[in-house]
Amino acid sequence: MSLGNKQRDFTLMIATLILWAYENGYEATLGDAYRDPRVFGKVGEKKGYGQKSSCHKMRLALDINLFKNGKFLTETEDHKELGEQWEIMGGTWGGRFNDGNHYSLAHNGFK
């Protein structure tokens, strides 16, 4: 699948996940999404924070700020229910590598 097609699938998947979150008592705001290579380096190059091979650089990752009952959920475990739903949908949840608010779609071995 081309990167462009995967990016469009990712956008629809994220929208579906956020709707699922709201239907299950969560609220969300959007965190870090695209990491511009002019600031963060191209894929494989590390500039600033983050991984050098981050899917954020390919528009295939989003950090979601999650809330429940008005409380900001900051722990990886707080994202477990949403993360497992994301995995069911075919995505990669960062909670498996201690980045609980990270939701991505793998591409060319990157997640």
Give the model confidence (pLDDT) of 31-89 as tens digits.
988 766 655 555 545 555 555 567 888 899 999 999 999 999 999 999 999 999 999 99
> In this structure, is residue 11 part of a structural domain?
yes
Domain presence at residue 84 = yes
Give this prediction's pTM.
0.86
User: Does the residue 52 lie in any domain?
Assistant: no
**How many structural domains comprise the chain?**
1
Ranges 4-18, 23-37, 56-70, 91-105: which has the least confidence: 23-37
The C-alpha atoms of residue 23 and residue 10 are separated, in whole angstroms, by 20
Q: Is residue 67 part of a domain?
A: yes
Query: How far, in Å, CA of 9 to CA of 29, rounded?
Result: 20
Residue 97 belongs to some domain of the structure: yes
Neighbours of 107 (CB within 10 A): 19
The answer as to whether 55 is a domain residue is no
Q: Name the residue among 91, 99, 76 with its Cα closest to residue 20.
A: 91
* pLDDT grade for 96, boundaries at 50, 70 and 90: very high
- pLDDT band at residue 13 using 50, 70 and 90 as cut-offs: very high
In a domain, residue 110? The reply is: no
- Expressed as residue numbers, the domain containing 24 is 3-29+60-104
In a domain, 7, yes or no: yes
Distance CA 103, CA 111 (A): 9
